[in-house]
Amino acid sequence: MPKLEREQLATGQMVHSLIAKTAREITEAVFEACSYTDKFHKVWPERLRKRFIQRFWPEYIGAARESLTALLRPIPGTETDPDGPKYATHEMLRDQIFEALLIDGSYKAPPPLSTDQLRANAGFEPLSDVLKAKHGKVLH
């Protein structure tokens, strides 16, 4: 079985490497488009390009998935051609994109947090401690 190419985000979310690569390319295009403004260039000069991409690429994962999905669609107006629909991308590339999107969708999200973890994240004491203090034991 081939090794799955994936990357893990700081959130624990897994992303297929093709989607991550596409998200980085979109982030770089955003950097290019914004770098023409003085305000942006003062905060993110050219020498910080790699840092910008590393910092913001996860924000463009959704856009990467949408862009790759769009490459799977036939060219508008060719769907009913007698010879079949026409595509802007080669069949082999469409197969790779389709596989990446399928695999990416199969990555499991991190398990949900327990009530105690949610309470701790919100700055409250764990519910088990509250119940123990109130009832002398943890109720199940």
Report pLDDT digits (tens) over 4-39.
577 777 666 789 999 999 999 999 999 999 988 888
Report pLDDT digits (tens) over 71-100.
999 999 998 888 888 999 999 999 999 999
Mean pLDDT along residues 102-107: 79
Among 60, 62, 56, 54, smallest CA distance to 104 is for 62
Mean pLDDT along residues 47-72: 93
pLDDT of residue 8: 73
pLDDT of residue 13: 76
Report pLDDT digits (tens) over 109-136.
555 556 666 666 556 666 666 666 666 6
C-alpha–C-alpha distance, residues 17 and 5, integer Å: 5
Q: Is 12 exposed, middle or buried (0-12, 13-18, 19+ CB in 10 A)?
A: exposed
Q: What is the mean pLDDT of the chain?
A: 82
Among 27, 28, 26, smallest CA distance to 67 is for 26
pLDDT band at 53 (very low <50, low <70, confident <90, very high): very high
What are the structural domain ranges in the chain? 6-78+85-109, 112-140
Q: Helix, strand, coil shares of the chain as percentages rounded to 5?
A: 60, 5, 35
Read off φ and ψ for residue 7, nearest 5 degrees. -130, 150
Beta strand segments in the chain, E: 6-8, 14-16
Residue 118, CB half-sphere, CA atoms under 13 Å: how many?
Answer: 6
Q: Which amino acid is at 103?
A: I
Choose between 48 and 136: higher pLDDT: 48
With H, G, I as helix, E, B as strand and everything else as coil, classify residue 15. strand
